[in-house]
Amino acid sequence: MEQLGEVLSLTGGGGPFRLISPFVGLSLMLVEYLLGRLRHEERYDLKETAASFGVTLGNKVANVLFVGVIMAPSLWLYEHRLFDIPRDAIWTWVLLFLGVDFTYYIQHAALHHVRWFWATHSVHHSPTKINLSAGIRLGWTAQVSGAFVFFLPLSWLGFPPLAVFGMLALNLGYQFFLHVARPPHLGPLEWVLNTPRHHLVHHASNEACLDKNFGGVLIIFDRLFGTFAEPPAEEPLRYGLKGKSLSSQNPFHIAFHGWSLLVQDLRKARGTRARLAVLFGSP
């Protein structure tokens, strides 16, 4: 129960971090917007950005409401853990960082290849302009869809749930900065880290960019498993959902657009095999 209280504080409570980070994020978005205006670049669509703020608010509410869905199995598995991993060893935190980043890579690939998960994750890919405000547009149904199960084995191995999801929060915090509208080239770091240049490719809807660059902090897993891609040389990057795009900037429409399409196709499907293909096949 003590760990559950700590996680509730981390995900939905107050504290200095949660008071400072929205201010920092909004300040950086404002700077990015103003720089774009000075350079006569349309980096932001204000209606789309306002919709992203609405989606973000709903995401925060969902995180608080459903934190127990994540923590109940995590705490149970930790109570039945395979190993007692020391918390004060440097190698523990290095292993946890690598474990969380690799697990995120696997989960992220599944979010793109399994339609049940894509119904939630498609929210993040719906902006037609990539900027820092796109980085906060996250779906409302991740916990309900069970996407968190990918991280449960880490608690079963012996990493405390608070440490696992705290490390994941840091990982996702880093990813916020991957959404800058005009990314710099970071030289040799591009070989190891997931950088804004790599993440622009991930968000692009060009054929050569689909289902590429799944990494969180590191890009090495994409390089190892063949999912890495550079920006196409002869065409500009295009953003937004491929296929049926959004017809409204209403946050509720954005949050449930993928689920609505899934239900429509599920009603048309005939037979168990066809329905399973709709639910768990490729988007």
pLDDT given for residue 211 in this prediction: 97
pLDDT given for residue 20 in this prediction: 52
| pTM metric for this prediction | 0.91
- Interatomic CA distance for residues 132 and 28, integer angstroms: 8
CB 115 within 8 A of CB 280: yes
pLDDT given for residue 8 in this prediction: 39
Helix axes 2-12, 67-79, angle to 10 degrees: 150
pLDDT given for residue 159 in this prediction: 96
pLDDT given for residue 243 in this prediction: 79
pLDDT given for residue 247 in this prediction: 84
Of 154 and 4, the one with more pLDDT: 154
Kindly state the average pLDDT of the residues 123-137. Answer: 95
Kindly state the average pLDDT of the residues 71-93. Answer: 94
- Interatomic CA distance for residues 275 and 267, integer angstroms: 8
Categorize the per-residue pLDDT at 2 as very low, low, confident or very high, splitting at 50, 70 and 90.
very low
Kindly state the average pLDDT of the residues 49-70. Answer: 93
pLDDT given for residue 261 in this prediction: 95
pLDDT given for residue 234 in this prediction: 86
Q: Is 90 exceeded by the pLDDT of residue 80?
A: yes
Q: What is the pLDDT of residues 163-217, one digit of tens each?
A: 999 999 999 999 999 999 999 999 999 999 999 999 999 999 999 999 999 999 9
pLDDT given for residue 257 in this prediction: 96
Q: What is the pLDDT of residues 235-267, one digit of tens each?
A: 999 999 987 778 899 999 999 999 999 999 999
Kindly state the average pLDDT of the residues 46-67. Answer: 94
Kindly state the average pLDDT of the residues 136-148. Answer: 94
Query: How far is CA 62 from each of CA 58, 124, 140, 213, 236, rounded to the nearest angstrom?
Result: 6, 15, 6, 27, 36
Residue 122 structure tokens: 């498609």
pLDDT given for residue 23 in this prediction: 84
Other Cβ atoms less than 10 A from the Cβ of 111: the count is 24
Q: Is 50 exceeded by the pLDDT of residue 16?
A: no
Kindly state the average pLDDT of the residues 88-109. Answer: 96
Kindly state the average pLDDT of the residues 150-165. Answer: 96
Q: Is 90 exceeded by the pLDDT of residue 137?
A: yes
Kindly state the average pLDDT of the residues 41-59. Answer: 94
Categorize the per-residue pLDDT at 67 as very low, low, confident or very high, splitting at 50, 70 and 90.
confident
Kindly state the average pLDDT of the residues 24-41. Answer: 92
Question: Three-state SS for 106?
Answer: helix
Average pLDDT of the chain is 91
Q: Is 70 exceeded by the pLDDT of residue 133?
A: yes
Question: Three-state SS for 231?
Answer: coil
The residue among 67, 239, 54, 218 whose CA lies nearest residue 136 is: 54
